[in-house]
Amino acid sequence: MSTWANLGLQDSASPLMEQLIFFHDHALLILIMITILVGYLMFMLFFNKYVNRFLLHGQLIEMIWTILPAIILLFIAFPSLRLLYLLDEINEPSLTLKSIGHQWYWSYEYSDFNNIEFDSYMIPTNELSTDGFRLLDVDNRIVLPMNSQIRILVTAADVIHSWTIPALGVKVDGTPGRLNQTNFFINRPGLFYGQCSEICGANHSFMPIVIESVPTNYFIKWISN
Ligand code: CUA
């Protein structure tokens, strides 16, 4: 989860989020180079003479400043496209979790295991334990095994919600009447927090998501209870 003064991206807990961070850094580096170049050129305009007896045309420079930005954009476009298709790839999931957005809580179904289902509500501040996280902790967490491919099906029962977990690089809209799909692979144990990120009504801020990532044998123990 995000803690104090963490203004950047959260540490990744899945390979795809790692790739997203790499892409962010790559794009940011290109952006900084362009900003410095354009800033330098704009600064140099202050010292321009406004007269040049021999300037009639500039075919070469026009060619350069047309083609060069196009090439730079390709260096962003291809990695972006690669990631886009990578994020949509489903690799034989060993587990499917269905999450349904409601005003204002999430409910979950483990369709592979006797259709276990439960609701997950935020714990109100006045009922929070001392080690709880305000506006982030829920009464019933999702328990998932680490090191396995997990498929998520997202939908909603009333209005549009969005199932979002920054550390896993997951953000899928839950839309009434539609079933959206995504997948992820958690590569370490821990608690991963997320929030609804589609403005869904008065209590939009109060329907967080908590994933408890555990080793597979712990997960089997939990699911058989
Ligand atoms: Cu549900 Cu915002």
Classify domain 15-88 by CATH architecture. Orthogonal Bundle (1.10)
The percent of residues in the chain predicted with pLDDT above 70, rounded, is 100
Contacts (Cβ under 8 Å, ≥6 apart) of 134: 125, 128
Q: Is the CB of 209 under 6 A from ligand 1?
A: no
pLDDT of residue 103: 94
The ranges assigned to domains in the chain are 15-88, 95-224
CATH architecture assigned to 95-224: Sandwich (2.60)
Is the CB of 161 inside a 6 Å radius of any atom of ligand 1? yes
Q: Which tens digits make up the pLDDT trace of 145-197?
A: 999 999 999 999 999 999 999 999 999 999 999 999 999 999 999 999 999 99
* Count of CB atoms situated within 10 Å of the CB of 156: 25
Is 114's pLDDT higher than 90?
A: no
Q: Which two three-digit tokens encode residue 19?
A: 């790739």
Look at ligand 1, atom 1, and give the residue with the nearest C-alpha: 161
State the distance from the centre of ligand 1 to the C-alpha of 120, rounded, in angstroms. Answer: 13
Answer whether residue 50 shows pLDDT above 90: no
CB 186 within 8 A of CB 14: yes
Does residue 156 line the site of ligand 1, with CB under 6 A? no
Q: Is 204 touching ligand 1 by the criterion CB < 6 Å?
A: yes
Residue 165 to residue 201: CA distance in whole angstroms:
20
The rounded radius of gyration (Å) of the Cα atoms in the chain is 24
- pLDDT band per the 50, 70, 90 thresholds, residue 55: confident
